[in-house]
Amino acid sequence: MLARSTIARGLPQKIASRGMASAAAHPFHYSVGDAAGVKVASRDDNGPTTSLAVVVRGGSRYETSPGLAHGLANFAFKNTTRRSALRLQREAELLGGSFNSALSRENIVLKAKFLRGDLPYFVEALGDVLTNTKYLSYEFNEEVTPVMVAELQNFARDPAAIALEHAHNVAFHTGLGGHRLALTPKLNSNLIGSYAKQVYQKGNIAVIASGAAQADVQKWTGEFFGGLQAGNGVSSGETKYYGGENRTYSAAGNAMVIAFPGSSKAEQTVLAYLLGGEASTKWNAGTSLLSQAVGQMSGVKAVARHTTYSDAGLLAITVTGPQGSLAAAGKAVVEAVNGLANVNAETVKKAVNQAKFDAFAGAEDRSSGLEFVGQSLIASGKAPQTEDVVKALEAVSVESIKKAAAAILKGKATYTAVGDLHYLPFASNIGLQTGGNGIYRVMISQGNGGHDKNGIESGELVRRVVVIQNLCTDCLSYVVISNKPAPKVFADVDITSITTGSDNLFIGTSDGKVHVVNSSFKIVRTFSTHEVGFTQSGGAITHMKQIEGTSLLVTISEDLSSEPVLKVWALDKLEKKTGEPRCQSSLTVNNGRKQFPTTAFATTPALSTVAVGFANGSITLIRGDLIHDRGTKQRIIFESEEPITNLCFSPPGAVGKRHRHHAHATEGGETLYVSTTARVLTLSTLGKSNHPPRILDNHGCGVGCMTPALDYGSEDSILHEGGDVVVARDDALYFYGPNGRGACYSYEGPKQLVKIFKNYIALISPPASKPSTAVAGNRSGGVSETLKRLVGKAPANATADDLFEFTKFTLLDTELKFIAHSDRVVSGARDIFSSWGDFFVLALDGTLYRYHEVSLQEKLDILYARNLFVLAINLAQKAGVTDNKLRGIYRRYADYQYGKGDYDGSMQWYIKALGPANEGGVSTVIRKFLDTQRIHNLIEYLEELHKHDCATSDHTTLLLNCYAKLKDINKLQAFITQADAGLKFDVDTAIAMCRQAGYYEQAVYLAEKQQEHDIVVSIMVENLERTSDALLYIQRLEPEYAYSNLMKYARIFLDKQPQRTTGLMVEYYTGRYVPMKKDLPIEPVAPDPIPQDNVFQSYLNTSLLQQLPYMGTSQTNTPSQSNTMATTAATTSPGEGSGAIPLPLSPKPYTAPKPRTAFSSFVDHPVEFIEFLEKVLDDGEATGKLSENDRVDIYTTLFEIYLQRANSCKSKEEKRWWEAKAKKIIEAKEALVDTSNVLLLSHLADFKDGTTLVREKQGLRFDIFRSCCSAGDIPGAIRALKKYGSEEPELYPAALSYFTSSPQILRAVGEDELARVLKVIDEQGLMKPLQVVQTLGSNGVATVGMVKRYLGDTIERERKEIQQNRKMIETYRQETTKKAAEIAEVGSKPTVFQAQRCQACGLQLDLPTVHFLCKHSFHQRCLNAADGENLECITCGPTNQTIRTLKRTQDEAAERHDRFKMLLDAEGKDKFGVVSDFFGKGVMAAPPLL
């Protein structure tokens, strides 16, 4: 066994992984997409298994030759270039999956079922089947053909299937009416491979998945189906419903189908459920119309089904059961159908609910409905949704049902019957009308010299009863070349047999002679068939046969006294003695020694088998070598009581290829067709023993009324009627094949002879007064019962004998269904034959009539003259004329119908006449239909002009104007969307006309297709007012296109979508712009609010577009927004907004424009402008991308707009917030904002803090205070004093002067502030009290009471200072006196030292000891002094040193007179204090004495 890794080898590793997709929100809903040009749809219910289908538009409807679709469907999953069929099967089984293929009338479906995780493998396998199948010959012969044969055999055993198949044939003729299953000898693997190339194209297939994620299906389809050929595959003409009747014999059983035209409307589906036929409860007949109609009939079942196709439908009722009950059942069914017109609401509701249940049940089945979804996806690009189907069913009402029922009851029905035709009813028997007056509408014409002008309509060709149109005379297809007396050979001899071949005519006579006549009707040779030397007796030559393609002639001579003698003559070999042809062989035909004349004779083309029929009902079969006389064997293979009337062998294989459904014979002669007076049957000639006969029909025919369905002497004589032989009876012409009766053409009247000439059937009809040889014993007064039944009563002045009093020669064209020629043979016809390309009728009086086919142009001219244009068209198509000439006929017919006033009909033919060589007549046609009443026809014609690529810009303009006049938006939409399908027209004109007429959505669609981005945005903004979609569209454009369109409508975008527009501009100006991708799933953006009347369905799928990362909440938050922003910040990360998804792509390089270019766009949008500037600035600061000039522009603009916002705010708190942001710019980035700009903007905005900050940064603090004072800004002056007073103490004297300059200022300042100023002045000594008094007294504003405390405190302080100084002086004096006394005492009195311990070490003093006058005692060793050194108390030494240093410093300063002078000159210094200070330092002292 193969391992999974082996299977997955060569594929991406993800193929081998198996996972479960997330559950879909709507398991019944199909998502639609495109992968590498292939349409893809899927639905996902998160189940463990997946069903996958590849739907190919290539069913039997589209095949160019019978059996191609059948063969291609069975060629699926055979050997490919990558894997063998066996390997494919083993791999599928290993993975637990399965493959299958199916064929319908419209599609070939390749299916796969598997576990969910194996999706990649099965997609790859199906793609391999489509692209790499080998189509080998041996596979076709050994594997495909047996399957096709088995399917055909199963089909032949099912009478209901056969009846339904024939119902399609009758209803639709070609296309949908073609046979779904077929196998012909010419079908081979090469033809199937060619057909596969035509249908396996990207535009012709759809991949449908149930139980898989859409993204996965698109991914793998794009990877494995990319190798398919591009194209839209095959096409088929528009389906037309015809209707009619068909009856076919079958031994498999009995069935009838009654069908009516259907459609895709929900009413047709409900009609089928109303009819019903199947019970919802076991063992119960049910309550539907059909169940009630046939419920009491034993074994009878009637079921209604409605089948929907891409452009048509068929509502079919299948009735099966015993043959004896079907007639009554048919009547009951027709009555039930008529009952549809009287349904009530309850019945309709029941049918609707049943239809809804089946719709939902089908949707739950993962594998059902995939073909229908694929078919719709290929045709329209949309997937049918279950919810839409249910909605349509729920909208069905009783009135709409009655209307639909009335439509089908008034139209043509289709009726087919399969089984024992003796019991099965005709349509008229059950009350069904399949035409205007029923299917059999027969015209009986009196003799008029061969010019019968009356005609009737025709029906389907294949296997149904068809009425021949009696439209023309000999003037149409044949002219009488010679009707004068024939040569003497025809008049003077007793002719007993005639045959043709090898370009000669052979005449057998009653005396046993054969006359060979040439094309000039001269006897070139005569020889006797019973010369001396032969033992067999002679007699009349009753049968002759010239073997086509050889020089052999077979004759049968007989008389009633002996058995017939068969001889074979070699006409090219002459006897030396007599000069007559050599007799190759001779034998007596054995009839069991019964003396009965031979009535029929047949040979195979190779003369290997000969059959002879006798009047006693026996048939002798002769086998052997008759050519070389090497022995033969005879045996009687059949005996009956009815005389044998005709014998025909089955045709050889080369000819048998013409048959569509019976293509198994490879050589002629395997089957012998036998007709008696009562039956038509077949006998097998194979083997040595006799085989039982197979009865084809229980009605026989007369002698000469059965013939092979081909003319061996003509190359184009094959009749495609599904039969090998033609049988002429009084009521009709029947074709028979090995499996039964084929086509049937109703042509009433007695028949005498029938022959095939080219593609025509030649008939000799005897006078009604004479016996007919067609069906013995089936006449009443010369007219058949069938004719009487169908025609009814004859005119009052006519009798049956009057209608048929002459022998009539008729040529029928069964393919075109008309009488090509009809002529009288007054004396009666002896025989008919064809030779030399002409047809001959030999009359009983010896007159020979020769008929020659006129040229095609002559035929057409005759038809034109008689206004028989449909027949002319059919004739031209059959003849294979050129398309240009055929279009000319179409044009003639259209002109004729227009002249009659049939404008709709004429337009259809004008459209068909369109082509490359017919442009000249286009204007003429348009002028004919310019009338307003004909505008619908004109639209149809103009549409076809565009489809044929014949339209000019004027035609496009006219068509769009017509749409606008009718306000038909659906057609307009369909027209412009056809550009994707290859329709060519002047797109610029179409855009202009759509926009002018108000169809803006369509104009947008076309403009986008043409990459006219400016027009797209212009329409969406100016006309549709859909700025949201316009922004989304711009986001998809490349940078150069996006910028121009964004800036053009920036103001409008900011009005409608401020946040999104700002975000987009930020992204572009920061160099981070990336065009959006359609396949990025995001949240849709709500469109602009516009009036409901102007709402159009946008062509954009906004759910596929990506938002910008800056389109979230603004980062510029005002105080009024603070609460909201706090909440948002908790859930939104930086750079994100509501629904925003950052792009994962790197930006495409482009040069970001200067921010200044966007400034004008933000007029009247200050909030967005601020957001734009701040984010651009933040990005520039972080990345360094902004130039110095750009930064200056942004900071200056931000400063200005901050001030504007501050002035516009009503809340003081908000105003201070904006002013604080403006201050921050000046404080932090003073170098980037020009000082003059700040001062100017601050002045204009009355922003004093700005001026203040500038002066503060320049150190002009006194100017700040002075500006506040000059501006009368008392609070500002106070704040400046408090802020800068510590650094500029001089401000306090100025403040004192300003505060006391006026009473108003002083009141505003307050006594407390004045007291504080005075206190500072006093504490810092900035002014002398006298100066303060002088300042206060200069204005007379301040009162004594205001400065009383200051003055009192000053005086009291100075008083205390004086007292303190006096105390200090007194203390200094006392200390000086004391010190002087101590000095004196030391110098005059002894000093007592009582210290016991050393002041340094703390030990007991011992000698040597040093005592100082300061009363401190030390060990000498503790002083560390050398001998002779002056000792000093180490305890008092530092103090003494300090005093000495101070004294020295004073002495030095006393001599620095320059410093003394400098301090005296310094401004603001207290000169008296300086003098006092220096006086104390001894500057004024006298120099010491030397």
| 981 or 548, which is more confident | 548
- Residue pair 1315/1343 in contact (Cβ under 8 Å)? The answer is no
pLDDT digits (tens, 9 = 90+) for 576-624: 888 889 998 999 998 887 888 999 999 998 888 999 999 999 999 999 8
pLDDT reported for residue 1328:
72
Average of per-residue pLDDT across 696-713: 87
Most confident of 315-319, 716-720, 1449-1453: 315-319
Roughly what angle, to the nearest 10 degrees, separates helices 935-947 and 903-912?
A: 10
pLDDT reported for residue 1238:
65
pLDDT band at 78 (very low <50, low <70, confident <90, very high): very high
State how far the Cα of 1489 lies from the Cα of 1487, in Å rounded to an integer. Answer: 7
pLDDT band at 531 (very low <50, low <70, confident <90, very high): low
State how far the Cα of 245 lies from the Cα of 237, in Å rounded to an integer. Answer: 23
pLDDT band at 48 (very low <50, low <70, confident <90, very high): very high
Between the CA of residue 43 and those of 33, 215, 355, 372, 1236, what are the distances in Å? 12, 11, 22, 14, 69
3-state class percentages of the chain: helix first, strand second, coil last, to nearest 5: 45, 20, 40
Q: Which residue has the tokens 């007596």?
A: 588
What is the total residue count of the chain? 1490
Task: Please state which of the ranges 1051-1060, 1230-1239, 1287-1296, 1451-1460 shows the lowest mean pLDDT.
Answer: 1230-1239
Average of per-residue pLDDT across 984-993: 75
pLDDT band at 1232 (very low <50, low <70, confident <90, very high): low
State how far the Cα of 995 lies from the Cα of 989, in Å rounded to an integer. Answer: 10
Q: Which residue has the tokens 């027009």?
A: 1015
State how far the Cα of 873 lies from the Cα of 870, in Å rounded to an integer. Answer: 5
State how far the Cα of 311 lies from the Cα of 288, in Å rounded to an integer. Answer: 28
pLDDT digits (tens, 9 = 90+) for 22-40: 333 456 789 999 998 999 9
Per DSSP, 208 falls in state: E
Torsion angles phi and psi, residue 947, rounded to 5: -65, -30
- Residue pair 607/627 in contact (Cβ under 8 Å)? The answer is yes
State how far the Cα of 193 lies from the Cα of 183, in Å rounded to an integer. Answer: 16
| 1484 or 878, which is more confident | 878
pLDDT reported for residue 491:
65
SS3 1285: coil
pLDDT digits (tens, 9 = 90+) for 1338-1379: 776 666 666 767 777 778 788 888 888 888 888 888 888 888
- Residue pair 77/99 in contact (Cβ under 8 Å)? The answer is yes
Does 1120 have pLDDT greater than 60?
A: no
pLDDT reported for residue 23:
36
As beta bridge partners, residue 611 has 602, 621
Average of per-residue pLDDT across 97-109: 94
pLDDT reported for residue 602:
93
Please report which helix (H) or strand (E) contains residue 832, including its range: strand 829-835
Strands of the 504-509 sheet, one edge to the other: 495-501, 504-509, 513-517, 523-528
- Residue pair 272/304 in contact (Cβ under 8 Å)? The answer is yes
pLDDT band at 983 (very low <50, low <70, confident <90, very high): low
- Cis ω for the linkage preceding 1408 (within 30 of 0): yes
State how far the Cα of 555 lies from the Cα of 546, in Å rounded to an integer. Answer: 9
- Residue pair 1172/1158 in contact (Cβ under 8 Å)? The answer is yes
Nearest in space to 181 (alpha carbons), one of 153, 160, 158: 153
Task: Please state which of the ranges 11-25, 884-898, 1064-1078, 1441-1455 shows the lowest mean pLDDT.
Answer: 11-25
Average of per-residue pLDDT across 805-822: 84
Q: Terminus-to-terminus CA distance in the chain, angstroms? A: 134
State how far the Cα of 104 lies from the Cα of 749, in Å rounded to an integer. Answer: 41
pLDDT band at 1465 (very low <50, low <70, confident <90, very high): confident
Torsion angles phi and psi, residue 622, rounded to 5: -115, 125
SS3 646: strand
Q: Strands 465-467, 740-746: parallel, antiparallel or unpaired by DSSP?
A: parallel
pLDDT band at 159 (very low <50, low <70, confident <90, very high): very high
What is the Cβ-side half-sphere exposure of residue 1366, based on CA atoms within 13 angstroms? 6
Per DSSP, 346 falls in state: H
Nearest in space to 814 (alpha carbons), one of 893, 715, 722, 740: 722
pLDDT digits (tens, 9 = 90+) for 230-273: 988 888 888 999 898 998 888 889 999 999 999 888 888 999 99
- Where helices occur in 422-498 by DSSP H, the ranges are 474-477, 488-492
pLDDT reported for residue 1067:
86
pLDDT reported for residue 1460:
77
pLDDT reported for residue 1249:
62
Tokens (6 digits) for 989: 């004109």
Does 1118 have pLDDT greater than 70?
A: no
Average of per-residue pLDDT across 193-203: 93
State how far the Cα of 983 lies from the Cα of 946, in Å rounded to an integer. Answer: 6
Average of per-residue pLDDT across 631-642: 90
pLDDT band at 1234 (very low <50, low <70, confident <90, very high): low
pLDDT reported for residue 450:
35
Does 492 have pLDDT greater than 70?
A: no
Between the CA of residue 469 and those of 459, 466, 505, 861, 1380, what are the distances in Å? 10, 9, 33, 19, 171
State how far the Cα of 1166 lies from the Cα of 1179, in Å rounded to an integer. Answer: 20
The secondary structure of 1078-1093 as a DSSP string is TT---PPPPPP---GG
pLDDT band at 1246 (very low <50, low <70, confident <90, very high): low
Torsion angles phi and psi, residue 636, rounded to 5: -85, 120
- Residue pair 298/288 in contact (Cβ under 8 Å)? The answer is no
Average of per-residue pLDDT across 366-370: 79
Average of per-residue pLDDT across 192-218: 93
pLDDT band at 191 (very low <50, low <70, confident <90, very high): very high
Tokens (6 digits) for 919: 């442009």
Average of per-residue pLDDT across 933-949: 83
Torsion angles phi and psi, residue 1453, rounded to 5: -65, -30
Between the CA of residue 688 and those of 2, 135, 332, 554, 685, what are the distances in Å? 53, 40, 51, 24, 8
- Residue pair 203/218 in contact (Cβ under 8 Å)? The answer is no
- Residue pair 645/673 in contact (Cβ under 8 Å)? The answer is no
pLDDT reported for residue 51:
94
Tokens (6 digits) for 782: 């010369």
| 468 or 1203, which is more confident | 1203
Does 1106 have pLDDT greater than 80?
A: no
Nearest in space to 1114 (alpha carbons), one of 1137, 1145, 1089: 1137
pLDDT reported for residue 6:
33
pLDDT digits (tens, 9 = 90+) for 1160-1210: 888 888 888 888 888 888 887 888 888 878 877 887 787 778 777 777 887
Does 1030 have pLDDT greater than 70?
A: yes
pLDDT reported for residue 1123:
37
pTM confidence score: 0.45
pLDDT digits (tens, 9 = 90+) for 1061-1097: 888 888 888 888 888 875 544 333 333 443 333 333 3
Average of per-residue pLDDT across 788-794: 33
Does 429 have pLDDT greater than 90?
A: no
Torsion angles phi and psi, residue 698, rounded to 5: -90, 20
Average of per-residue pLDDT across 723-752: 88
- Cis ω for the linkage preceding 581 (within 30 of 0): no
Nearest in space to 299 (alpha carbons), one of 326, 278, 336, 327: 326
What percent of the chain is predicted at pLDDT more than 70?
A: 78
Tokens (6 digits) for 827: 């004396």
Burial of residue 1225 (CB within 10 Å: 0-12, 13-18, 19+) is buried
| 755 or 862, which is more confident | 755
Tokens (6 digits) for 632: 């033969």
Please give the mean pLDDT across all residues of the chain: 78
